[in-house]
Structure 1
Amino acid sequence: MDSQMYQSKDDKFIPMTSISSGKVREARSDVSYYTNQIVNVIFIGSAEGWVLVDAGMPKCGEEIRLVAEDIFGANAKPAAIILTHGHFDHVGGIVHLIEHWNVPVYAHPLEFPFLTGQQSYPEPDTSVEGGMLAKISSIYPNEPIDITPALRELPADGSIPHLQDWRWIHTPGHSPGQVALFRESDATLISADAFITVKQDSMYKVLVQKKEVCGPPVYLTTDWRAAYESVQKLAALNPQLVVPGHGTAMDGAELTEGLRRLVNEFETVAVPEHGKFVDKES
């Protein structure tokens, strides 16, 4: 693969962790997720054929590759990588993985400027209402990566290459081209950061992985109206199990009731009282 690919120019190790870091958990017989520090990397399929969803925190490429071999066997290689969006904690190992595996990477075209070196994300909002992880968010990388040679558009019909039973759903708000993945046959949802199951701005709750249905991370969500519409869209699917971008998998009544509350009380439980992305909408 082309050596001109690169991680962001502000790429650096972020010293954050949680009690779930380093754990692989099975959500379905063919869906496992690995918590890389504070973010989930998802493996869909079996040793006969599988796909990786997202690429973790900065400097984690080798770690993810070794986890894949633990799950699927020596020299395991996915058919493709799907990126739910391009924030630093979802693409941190992507260049290493592409160079090692030489596989295509699929994303929504609205994320392409951030994945082809053309445009930086807005800087994280340290002024937003929230906990310690929001206050120190200025340390998070926001400059673009460039994986142009490997990058492909997700099919416009909602299908996902190499995942016949799944479809992708556009869920903007947290980022312009964020997508979720859904399998109707068993109502399994990969929600990315459209909604998550840990309050991501709270250092304590992230550390102990306190389980609760929450809106998207406040310090990187730039369009709260779109974020609300995305939550509504996912709730309407009536998911029975979710594997989020952050937090632990959730199912049953806990998920149903938590998601209902998030939709009904989004303005008070998800949207911060102040912040530069909130204030521009008021």
Structure 2
Amino acid sequence: MEKEMEYGKDYKFIPATSIGSGVTHVVAPDVLCHTIQIVNVCLVGTKEEWVLIDAGMPHSAEEIIELTEEHYGVESRPKAIILTHGHFDHVGAILELIEHWNVPVYAHELEIPYLTGKTDYPEPDPSVEGGMVAKISAMFPNEAINIGKYVEKLPSDGSVPGMPSWKWHHTPGHTPGHISLFREEDRLLIVGDAFVTVRQDSLYKVVTQKLEMSGPPRYFTTDWTAARESVRKLAELRPATAVTGHGLPMAGELLQTSLITLTDHFDEVAKPDFGRYVDKEVH
């Protein structure tokens, strides 16, 4: 592996999983959602041209490569890897995947410092209101990784490399450069962690994957004002189907009503009552 690429010193396997781990959901004919332990990656496209969205948990490269070979063929490789953001559970296999495929990675320009070794994320907050996952979040990696020359900023016109029918939307709050992806023709939304469909701070709900719309994971979200605005922005897209970074895909009337409730009652439903980042903004 090239020396210019490295994970943070706190990079490590996290022994957390759910009953959905290893399960692949066909969300659309050209969109797959696959769960790795507690986080989702997406494959978008056909054998002729496809991309990977997010890069899973630490030490998950082999599973991701096997998944892509099963669906697209052993010799295939993505046009690009698109990152919704750079938290450890979304870039956990990125170095190995770059080495295996030699493809570019795209992220929002505000996220690039966390992907080039320049800036560490704020530490996770185990004091935040929430369940057991929040309490143990102090063990989660937060140091910047460095993928050097392989990361490029997303085009400023909202287009997504390798995904011609899609647009990216800046949805900060969980991280400064967080993005979500939307396809107008079928109103399919790939959310990242702007909101999720499981209470990610609750160990029981993470393990059982109880379907329940929630705000972004509390222990890593540092700007709740921006997070509220991002949910409002995504609700205005009126998605028919949403694939989130954590939890099962959600669609139809359940998605519509849940998103309206989350938007209208964000402070009661999503924002914690207390925590290190609740009453101050970190950028």
- Shorter-chain TM-score bucket reads over 0.9
What is the Cα deviation at residue 2 of structure 1? Answer: 3.9
Aligned 8 A contact 2:20 2:35 in 1: yes
Deviations 1:168-205 (A, max 9, x none): 00000000000000000000000000011000000000
> What are the residue-to-residue correspondences of 1:85-164 with 2, within 5 Å?
85-164=85-164
Q: Counterpart amino acid of 2:157? A: D
What is the Cα deviation at residue 74 of structure 1? Answer: 1.4
Q: Does 1:6 align with 2:9?
A: no
Match of residue 48 from structure 1: 48
**Aligned partners of 2:138 and 2:50: how far apart in 1?**
35
**Aligned partners of 1:130 and 1:213: how far apart in 2?**
15
Q: Does 1:232 align with 2:232?
A: yes
Deviations 1:140-185 (A, max 9, x none): 0000000112011100010001111000000000000000000000
What is the Cα deviation at residue 46 of structure 1? Answer: 0.9
Which secondary structure does the structure 2 equivalent of 1:109 belong to? coil
Report sequence identity in percent: 57
Q: Does 1:255 align with 2:255?
A: yes
**Aligned partners of 2:46 and 2:80: how far apart in 1?**
13
**Aligned partners of 2:81 and 2:2: how far apart in 1?**
17
What is the Cα deviation at residue 4 of structure 1? Answer: 1.7
Aligned 8 A contact 1:40 1:244 in 2: yes
Match of residue 36 from structure 1: 36
Q: Counterpart amino acid of 1:175? A: T
* Aligned residues: CA RMSD: 0.9
What is the Cα deviation at residue 253 of structure 1? Answer: 0.3
Aligned 8 A contact 2:189 2:241 in 1: yes
TM-score (norm 2): 0.98
> What are the residue-to-residue correspondences of 1:7-86 with 2, within 5 Å?
7-86=7-86
What is the Cα deviation at residue 75 of structure 1? Answer: 2.6
Equivalences, count = 281
**Aligned partners of 1:186 and 1:274: how far apart in 2?**
38
Q: Counterpart amino acid of 1:167? A: K
Which secondary structure does the structure 1 equivalent of 2:62 belong to? helix
Aligned 8 A contact 2:223 2:280 in 1: no
What is the Cα deviation at residue 25 of structure 1? Answer: 1.1
Deviations 1:5-37 (A, max 9, x none): 012211100000001001111000000011000
TM-score (norm 1): 0.98
Aligned 8 A contact 1:2 1:149 in 2: no
**Aligned partners of 1:255 and 1:76: how far apart in 2?**
34
**Aligned partners of 2:97 and 2:177: how far apart in 1?**
22
Q: Counterpart amino acid of 2:209? A: Q
Q: Does 1:206 align with 2:221?
A: no
Match of residue 169 from structure 1: 169
**Aligned partners of 2:37 and 2:262: how far apart in 1?**
26
Match of residue 272 from structure 1: 272
What is the Cα deviation at residue 87 of structure 1? Answer: 0.3
The answer for unaligned runs of 5 or more in structure 2 is none
The answer for unaligned runs of 5 or more in structure 1 is none
Which secondary structure does the structure 2 equivalent of 1:277 belong to? coil
Deviations 1:77-134 (A, max 9, x none): 1010000000000000000000000000000010011000011000000100000000
Which secondary structure does the structure 1 equivalent of 2:27 belong to? strand
Aligned 8 A contact 1:6 1:146 in 2: yes
Structure 1 residue ranges (4+ consecutive) displaced by more than 4 angstroms after TM superposition: none
Aligned 8 A contact 2:85 2:107 in 1: yes
